[in-house]
Homo-oligomer: A and B are copies of this chain.
């Protein structure tokens, strides 16, 4: 009995290793996959065995034509994208009529901008899916440990406190991560991103505002009501490495709500460095 082939999918790919994981996940679930690599962020060589075309961020007309030609009606945006300036976008004919909407979205933060981009794609007849839905195997999965380590009681308390802080910040378009150490939230993510957040802990320890005693946890979770097609929280090997440099005890991520880039390598590195990764 052959598996029914799912609908074809376009992976609109930014930087990093996650777009390949999502493309592979989609193919493993029986879907034909076409990769639209965003110019300056992804390249055909990143997707061996996949059909890939490169599109500039302003080439909406080119993209929609390519998808119509392939009868592709679903897409997933995944991977890092450096927020462009409005003046950096070279709109093709297909994008021109959306420019007012795009200009409006530009004033609204990263989430607002991406939401605007998704609306434009939807108005072109595309259905946008979340990477969490396309490739659930790239998330932390069910609650529990991902590696060999488990949080001790102090770390569990810190995780709980961190989750409360993130819940309190949930109504705002702000970071999705917090670091709890010495019984209090010591760093909350804003526009600097998770790597900047972890670097701050290194600086705080160096400057004496935080003890050098190892400990503390990074808690990362989506906002309540967040559109999971927009900006899915992500960790990866770099996160684990930096958390180790920040002398944290481990990472807690929302089960099924955070993508893990290079999952096997990420978990192996955490084991090697003695950090836990707990899905909560």
Which A residues have a C-beta under 8 Å from some C-beta of B? Answer: 82-83, 85, 107-109, 112, 161, 164-165, 168-169, 171-175, 179, 182-188, 190-193, 196, 200, 203-204, 208-211
With both chains docked as a complex, state the minimum distance between the C-beta of A57 and any C-beta of chain B, in angstroms.
Answer: 15
Contact B168 A173 (CB under 8 A): no
Q: How far is the CA of A168 from the CA of B171 in the complex (A)?
A: 9
Are A109 and B182 within 8 A (Cβ)? yes
Copies of this chain: 2
B-side contacts of A85, CB under 8 Å: 211
A208, B82: Cβ atoms closer than 8 Å: yes
A184 to B169 alpha-carbon distance, docked (Å): 12
**What are the residues of chain B within 8 A of A200 when measuring CB–CB?**
190, 192, 196
Residues of chain B within 8 A of A174, CB atoms compared = 165, 184-186, 188
B173 near A192 with CB under 8 A, answer no
A172–B185 touching, CB < 8 Å: yes
Give the residue of B108, B165, B196 whose beta carbon is less than 8 angstroms from that of A183: B108
Whether the pair B187, A191 counts as a contact (CB closer than 8 A) is yes
A-B contact pairs, 20 of them (CB 8 A): A82-B208, A107-B182, A161-B172, A164-B171, A168-B169, A168-B171, A168-B172, A169-B188, A172-B184, A173-B184, A174-B185, A179-B190, A186-B191, A187-B191, A187-B192, A188-B188, A191-B204, A191-B209, A192-B209, A193-B209
